[in-house]
Amino acid sequence: MKNRKTIFITDIILLLILVAIDRYTKYLAVLKLKDKPAYTIISGVLEFNYLENKGAAFGMLQNQKYFFIFIALIFLAVMTYVLVKCPNEKKYIKLHILLVFIASGAIGNLVDRFKFDYVVDFIFFSLINFPIFNVADIYVTVSTFVLVFLILFVYKDHDFYFLSFKEQKYREL
């Protein structure tokens, strides 16, 4: 298995690529969609529709910029701690990837909140009238869903020994 430094560098590179993709799609949304009518991709199903979201998911908690920044920083700190403590074993690669995707989404939306005081959203599933979202939201939502699935059905309690202060006890099992 790769050493800890190689895994950390890989995590950082993946994070930077994912944030860059999110930032670029938001840049394109501002450039091509702002102050323009929705752009239909699949009629009655999917369209690009520019929205400046000052709230959280589904527009909840409008104008709570500092609260969202605080929460995002807490989550990023926790994810960083888990990634640093995570053993460099093959079974934890999925955990690394999922946490990097979640962190990338959090950072992508955090940049928007710092830069604009809102998050640029632009993807709209009109078929089910789903709230408008962005690429960072996809990272967070899909990765969190997969992570919860893995924690419930794949990983076992002892797989997270590295998070315990009693780490040595679990290593002896």
56, 62, 64, 67: CA torsion to nearest 10: -30
Q: What is the 3-state secondary structure (H, E, C) of the chain?
A: CCCHHHHHHHHHHHHHHHHHHHHHHHHHHHHHHCCCCCEEEECCCEEEEEEEECCCHHHCCCCCHHHHHHHHHHHHHHHHHHHHHCCCCHHHHHHHHHHHHHHHHHHHHHHHHHHHCCEEEEEEECCCCCCCECHHHHHHHHHHHHHHHHHHHCCCHHHHHHHCCCHHHHHCC
| Catalytic annotation present for 121 | yes
**Catalytic choice (11, 22, 112, 137):** 137
**Catalytic choice (11, 22, 112, 121):** 121
| Catalytic annotation present for 159 | no
Question: And the tokens for 41?
Answer: 């991709």
Residue 35's identity, in one-letter code, is D
User: Which residues participate in catalysis according to the annotation?
Assistant: 121, 137
